[in-house]
Amino acid sequence: MLIINDLGVVSSPGFAEIDQAISSALQKSPYQIEMYDESLQLTSFPDEKSRRAFHDSLIRKYSGRKPDLIIAAGSESFELLAASHEAFIRETPIIFCELLGESPDKSNSGLHFTGVMSKLQPEQTLKAALQLLPGTKHDVVVGGTGKFDEVWERVAKQAFQKYESKLEFTYLTDLTMSALLERLRNLPANTIVYHTSIAQDAEGERFIGSAQSIPL
């Protein structure tokens, strides 16, 4: 069985939890299962050239050792598989998880797949914050410039549109980390901060959750 994920277990504690859950479940199986892990590492290699190189490496590595099942953890991992014309990928059953957006269309893909969609719900977090702090007037949305960061920002902007008549929104998503921290030190009263994702700042410096000394 082959598992492919978007960010890697080092870059993303969330994907580490997914890998651990899958591994724990398979250990209970009465069958002997060989499990292989691969990652697009989008935090470090977000460009199309790296994506193609990963795909080509995947083909060289597994075309002669065809997996019986592929698990795609993340939207980019599934899209890479869906776009591939390699026989061993198109003939192998695929289970996806952590997909954002619309459910993939089976009718035209030619793939054999099923899975569970994921849904980001920033409006629910905002509702909870407003219940705790009903006097809120400003919402500062914090994020980074990485590819995954941009996905979170788009989802948040769309979700918060319905609140723009009630709150003043400021998006701090294109700053260096030092500039961001300085802005956050000088926020007006009645402000809440909504954190999306910061994998990379405006200078290209990357931030890895598992490298922190405390849980985030």
Is 156 in contact with 181 (CB distance < 8 Å)? Answer: no
Predicted confidence at residue 28, as pLDDT, reads 87
Q: Cα(58)–Cα(41) distance, rounded to whole angstroms?
A: 14
Is 68 in contact with 95 (CB distance < 8 Å)? Answer: no
Q: Are residues 99 and 154 in the same domain?
A: no
Q: Cα(83)–Cα(193) distance, rounded to whole angstroms?
A: 38
Return the C-alpha torsion angle 57, 10, 202, 155, nearest 10.
Answer: 90
Out of 76, 96, 117, a domain closes at 117
Predicted confidence at residue 214, as pLDDT, reads 38
Predicted confidence at residue 180, as pLDDT, reads 95
Q: Tell me, what CATH number does 136's domain have?
A: 3.40.50.2300
- How many Cα neighbours within 13 Å face the side chain of 44? 11
Out of 88, 117, 146, a domain closes at 117
Q: Write out pLDDT tens, residues 27-75.
A: 888 888 899 999 998 877 888 999 999 999 999 999 888 999 999 998 8
Would residue 207 count as lying in a domain?
A: yes
Q: Which amino acid is at 214?
A: I
Q: Write out pLDDT tens, residues 76-102.
A: 899 999 888 888 888 899 999 887 766
Predicted confidence at residue 10, as pLDDT, reads 55
| Total domain count, the chain | 2
Greater confidence (65 vs 105) lies with 65
Q: Are residues 156 and 57 in the same domain?
A: no
Domain containing 95 equals 2-117
Considering 14-18, 45-49, 99-103, 208-212, the range whose residues carry the highest mean pLDDT is 45-49
Residues 6+ apart with CB under 8 A from 96: 71, 72, 73, 77, 78, 104, 113, 114, 115, 116
**Roughly what angle, to the nearest 10 degrees, separates helices 122-132 and 147-160?**
60
Would residue 16 count as lying in a domain?
A: yes
Strands in 168-172's sheet, in edge-to-edge order, are 168-172, 138-142, 191-195
Q: Tell me, what CATH number does 93's domain have?
A: 3.40.50
Q: Are residues 180 and 132 in the same domain?
A: yes
Answer whether residue 200 shows pLDDT above 90: no
Q: Are residues 151 and 107 in the same domain?
A: no
Out of 95, 117, 139, a domain closes at 117
In the chain, pLDDT over 70 holds for what percent of residues? Answer: 89
Would residue 216 count as lying in a domain?
A: no
Where would I find the beta strands (DSSP E) of 40-184? 70-73, 94-99, 113-117, 138-142, 168-172
Predicted confidence at residue 63, as pLDDT, reads 87
Answer whether residue 130 shows pLDDT above 90: yes
Greater confidence (74 vs 216) lies with 74
Torsion sign (Cα): 43, 41, 147, 124: negative
Strand pairing class (113-117; 94-99)? parallel
* Token pair in block for residue 61: 């590595």
Would residue 185 count as lying in a domain?
A: yes
Q: Are residues 101 and 131 in the same domain?
A: no
Q: Are residues 142 and 110 in the same domain?
A: no
* Token pair in block for residue 37: 């892990």
Q: Are residues 105 and 207 in the same domain?
A: no
Q: Are residues 96 and 136 in the same domain?
A: no
Q: Are residues 112 and 128 in the same domain?
A: no
